Structure 1
């Protein structure tokens, strides 16, 4: 047996056990140097690249850990929605609707997105700015871009984050967000920021971290650009009869509401479906026997924001609760 055999076996065992294999640190440094070259060649200034990447010596293990345990894949739909559509978030959402009527009105008129959906997204994403994330965005994205799971996607996001820095929208020390690189009160990924974020308050920069007008307008602009239909809701929970034909379910299938009515689908309280000329899809996010929803085109717009059906249901549910709170707060017309 060659003397190299035990050495190679030892190195492989170290790698498999989770300890860094020989040369891991140097390979990360080489990878980072290649990234610097790519960023500069794409038009990002060398000063921005060096300032952002110089002090990064290794990936963040906690970011990798969180990437493997996302709540959309570890919680039931019921628990996911209950955790996010709670009393505190409903009360605070109602306060936001009352606190910013002028800006919400402007944004609503300009983009054709009703305020309750804008505020619901704001609430689900960051609890109205209270929890926008404290991770350093550049280092988080470096970690995910270097990791093998979705490296190409996160590498593009990292380059876009460097472009945001280069444009002067925010300083490096203030560029904080989620472990996945989602930024600001509306939790835009860098590519979404470059496509959809807007300077609503007219101060010359786009600030989704501390400018509420920019947050509200950017959220509405995103939805409008991905196909939001004004005057339409997102969907509704429904009751499905026993022995229902499951071949009719799924986002790729749709029927008019009257068709679902004829098949025995009813509102959650057992009443008839609305008499509107609308097409809807029936989804069973957790399969037969689980919760059922009839969803409209705006549900698909929410999926463009976040591909998780649980996320879209949570946003829609919170928007419904906010609408109910607003209705309760209106003065009675009775004398």
Structure 2
């Protein structure tokens, strides 16, 4: 028994000895020194605003913080945002939708007035040295630049008088176009902060377009140029800077040197108008379908290689055009077919070309209700026009062409009063209002089951 007890004690002692760390700890234990806390940098605080609008003031404080994080100086923001209040005129103009859409031809005829042509031809002679230098540098014809100048501000006569800072703040706080408006506001503040122009110089349209050629602030920062060499990109006071900046915008947008922008054409009887706003092909391809220049002249060598799109903006009864790629570059200035056609046709007249061979037809202005009703009818019939918003854009015209073709009509995609009437006749409930979503239950009536609406 004694031997058994000794062995057990020996075993436990050896076991404990084996668990011990045989290596001494040679690294001295150092007590860490107390750290001095890093002082917190004071965060800029937005100045209090008392605009009378709680939502505007809340947006103002939030924007101030976002702008500081984006690198704008706090003192700049404090100075320029002090006393800032929304401009009710901007909200009214932004939300205004004309009850009747101005007919396409009426818009073009308004742009290409005899007075404007005469002024442009005088400016063409007066500014020939300037526009020649601009064309040599940027590749954009002087007549096109003069056309933009004429359409945008009547040759610099109507630049707008809205405070761009206040206008952009108003639009941003309103929220409908917040991100875009905040981008423009930050760009305008950068123009001020980097010393290019004071706020008193930054005036323009209610939507922030500035100067003789109406640049929004972000476009000014990226594209405006100092053409007259005085060290300032003065699109307000310098015609050279304004016109060259417009040319630079088109050049950056892909303007093709030596090519035209569009040509009026004629089409043969029985032409398939479903091809409008469709394929982009060379003039020779279109000529095989009977589409030729309305003036009877040949295409230039440069234009022969261009891929062109056919449009009939007022339907089969109005002028038709083959649009060259440069037409779509003009639309980077303002993405509207009316705008680009107006600028281009005006430029042609400045250069001595005559009026169109095919006159614009008489058109009836369509009400917003008629346009929306037509879009709803197309959707109900299975031809998707997109959101029924009253804007007759490319999707609505494509849907209209498909419906016209399915009904044996000329598929020109032109929404005339006649087309509105035919669509309403097929889908009567679109005018004046659609049927209620949850009709009141009626007592069953004996007879055959009603047919589903098509």
Normalised TM-score (structure 1): 0.83
SS at match of 1:106: helix
Residues 280-327 of structure 1: CA deviation (Å, up to 9, x unaligned): 11123355555422100100101111111110000001100001179x
CA shift, 1:55, in A, is 2.0
2:170 corresponds to 1:143? yes
For residues 255 and 283 of structure 1, what CA distance do their matches in structure 2 show? 13
- The equivalent position to 1:313 in structure 2, one of 315, 338, 341, is 341
Runs of 4+ in structure 1 off by over 6 angstroms are none
Aligned to 1:274: 299
Q: C-alpha offsets along residues 76-127 of structure 1, whole Å, 9 cap, x if unaligned?
A: 2212112222122212212222222222221111111111111111111111
Select which of 71, 94, 100 maps to 2:127.
100
Match of residue 254, structure 1, among 273, 276, 280: 280
Matching residue of 2:143: 116
Is residue 326 of structure 2 the alignment partner of residue 301 of structure 1?
Answer: no
Return the TM-score normalized by structure 2. 0.62
Greater length-normalized contact order (CA 8 Å, ≥ 6 residues apart): 1
| Cα distance in 2 between the residues matched to 1:324 and 1:212 | 23
CA contact (8 A) 1:235 1:296 kept: yes
Name structure 1 gaps, 5 residues minimum: 1-22, 327-335
Aligned to 1:64: 91
Cα deviation for residue 36 of structure 1 reads 1.5
Q: Is the 8 A contact 1:161 1:190 kept in 2?
A: yes
| 44-53 or 200-209: bigger deviation | 44-53
1:158 and 2:185 correspond: yes
Instruction: Give the CA RMSD over aligned residues.
Output: 2.3
- Report how far residue 246 of structure 1 moved: 3.4
Cross-structure match for 2:289 = 263
Could you tell me how far apart the structure 2 residues matched to 1:53 and 1:278 are?
50
Mapped contact 2:55–2:173 kept (Cα < 8 A): no
Q: Which residue in the other structure is 2:78 paired with?
A: 50
User: Over alpha carbons, which structure has the higher Rg?
Assistant: 2
The SS at the match of 2:265 is strand
- The structural deviation recorded for 1:253 is 1.9
Name the CA shift for 1:173/1:277 in 2 (closer, same or farther; >3 Å): closer
- Tell me what 2:112 maps to: 85
Q: 2:316, 2:59 → 1: CA distance?
A: 47
